[in-house]
Amino acid sequence: MSAVEMSFENLNLEVPFINLNNLNKSYVDKAIKTRGFVCNINVFKKTTFLTLRDQNRTLQCVLSTTEAAKSLNNESYIEVEGKICLVSTKIKSCSFSELELQLHTFAILNASESVLPFSYKDVSYTLEDLKKYNVSPVSYHLCLDNRSLYLRSPQGYAITRILDAVMFKFRDFLRSNGFIEVKTPKLIGGASEGGANCFKVDYFAKTATLAQSPQLYKQMCILGGLKRVYEIGHVYRAEESNINRYLSEFIGLDLEMEITDNYISVINFIYDLFKSIFVFLSESYSSELETIKQYFEFEPFMFTDNPVILDYIDCMKLLKDEYNIDMKLEDDFNNENEKKLGEIVKKKWNTDIFVIKDYPVCCRPFYTAVDSKTGFTKSYDFIIRGEEILSGAERINCYKTLKENIERCGINISSLGGYLEAFKIGAPPHGGCGIGLERLVKAYFGMKDIRYFSLFPRDPNRLYP
């Protein structure tokens, strides 16, 4: 069979198409068609062995010719047709270790270039492989520049699956608890929360900004009687900070809800949400977690049945007692403080997640409610592996108090006019939080670089691809 004969038209349309994810031993001795990327080619005197890859599944294909294989490059996308057979010796290099395809014909649907920025093999070396073969990993900047090629790697695919799983469970849990999904504007007339770190864009001879948060619109939805709302959407922050920790564009997981008792109930609800996500990952995505563990070092995630909740003042005392760190009341916890608190909590309660509540007024946004008895805010941060991954609070629902706070913070009231006016129509007590998807998953794995967890990361130095 010549390379010319290996054309798409020669494939038998009566042979069933089977996705590799659906292939199993019931297809033994049956003819099938399937598609995938060429992962590896080994040409011998009279036989060619090639590995076909589709997502995280690989199948060995055997071709009784060598001439046709000369037209193939690794990463070309092909359709193959042949008979599924059992093998006498397990194929350790393929996920289908007991099956192979005796190839009848194949078609190159789209050929890859012969020279690529990096090979699948190069980017697939596990931590153990790197030590065993004394090789260096592919430069991560090269992986970022060639994102589509990197996403074909085992770890790239597994991380994408985990991100999808977190969004799915976030939505599933909230919908099952009576939340409505909303989509708020990303083009707005002023800064989302009166802040300065925003991207400005031309908007029909006017200046608009990209939303830094859906916060104000979430609250307006509650004022509109929707009771419980959530959003999964893009958030934009023009912060030239640590690019390993922050993104200029990321996915926000936001929720807002009426409060029928007190803000502690919101903390407990959010914690239950996190527990549902963690359990879902461990029970339904164990293979993805195991794959990621082969490429990145991380410890199993630990959490308690009920949240460990510490007051801001108590955390100050812990830092003083354990590390002799003196803090003023008006100081917020910096990254190093959060890391040390994470270590203390892990040692005392054996958990990787805990809550800090009741921050001083100076450390919280203008819309945060204050406890009239203590003078501290009804606020909370969730810390995972020593890193803050969400901020939340009960919100002010009084027009007069909110207006005074905006003025006290020196924010131009006209930029928040629509938001502020909404509080004149009667506002129920409410609260919620905002979570960064990429930061959450980064913290879950205890990794240092957030860009691993963004499909196409954007930071002050990257606007490509």
Reported as type and span, the H/E element at residue 120 is helix 120-123
What CATH architecture does domain 154-453 belong to?
Answer: 2-Layer Sandwich (3.30)
Distances (CA, A) of 412 to 118, 304, 395, 448: 52, 43, 19, 37
Kindly tell me if the per-residue pLDDT of 215 is higher than 90: yes
Q: 309 in helix, strand or coil?
A: strand
Kindly tell me if the per-residue pLDDT of 412 is higher than 60: yes
d(CA 50, CA 44): 11
Kindly tell me if the per-residue pLDDT of 88 is higher than 80: yes
Q: Where do runs of H (alpha helix) occur along 304-457?
A: 312-323, 335-349, 399-408, 417-421, 437-445
pLDDT tens digits for 219-250? 999 999 999 999 999 999 998 877 788 999 99
Q: Is the distance from CB of 386 to CB of 339 less than 8 angstroms?
A: yes
Percentage above 90 pLDDT, the chain? 90
> Model pTM?
0.94
Kindly tell me if the per-residue pLDDT of 110 is higher than 60: yes
* pLDDT mean across residues, the chain: 95
Q: 328-364 burial, b for 16+ CB within 10 Å, e for fewer?
A: eeeeebeeebbebbbebbbeeeebbbbbbbbbbeebb
- Tell me the mean pLDDT in the region 441-457: 97
CATH number of the domain at 2-110, please? 2.40.50.140
Per-residue pLDDT, 67: 84
Kindly tell me if the per-residue pLDDT of 73 is higher than 70: yes
Q: Where are the domains of the chain?
A: 2-110, 154-453
Same fold: 2-110 with 154-453: no
pLDDT tens digits for 280-313? 999 999 999 999 999 999 999 999 999 999 999 9
